[in-house]
Amino acid sequence: MGRLVLNHSSNIEGLIPILQKLALDINIKTITPAVISRARGRSSKLIIRLSVKTINGYKAIARKGKTAQEVFISTDLSKDELKKILDFYNRK
């Protein structure tokens, strides 16, 4: 079971409950929401997509509306395994 690091006072609406559920996975070590920015396109619902591999795991991008937020996930899972888990939460 991982832990969710809450450094920022602001996050994309609906992101924290999804990350809390994701942190319950035994293979997830740490989840850290990071920088919030403006995106060019629009996303009608919250979508979390894997971006790049990092030293400890992966960087993901959470998008809703015109807002995007980086999320760092520390894990030993492969990219495909983590992508399957994120796709499950994206469908809800």
| Contact indicator for 40, 14 with CB cutoff of 8 Å | no
User: Which residues have CB under 8 Å from 88's CB, separation 6+?
Assistant: none
Q: Where are the domains of the chain?
A: 3-91
| Contact indicator for 39, 11 with CB cutoff of 8 Å | no
The model's pTM is 0.91
Q: What is residue 42's predicted lDDT score, i.e. its pLDDT?
A: 82
Q: What are phi and psi of 21, to 5 degrees?
A: -65, -40
Q: For the chain, what's the residue count? A: 92
Strand (E) or helix (H) holding 40: strand 28-53
**Alpha carbon distance 1, 75 (integer Å):** 11
Q: What is the pLDDT along the chain (92 residues), one digit of tens a residue?
A: 789 998 767 899 999 999 999 999 999 999 999 999 998 888 789 999 999 999 999 999 999 999 999 999 999 999 999 999 999 988 86
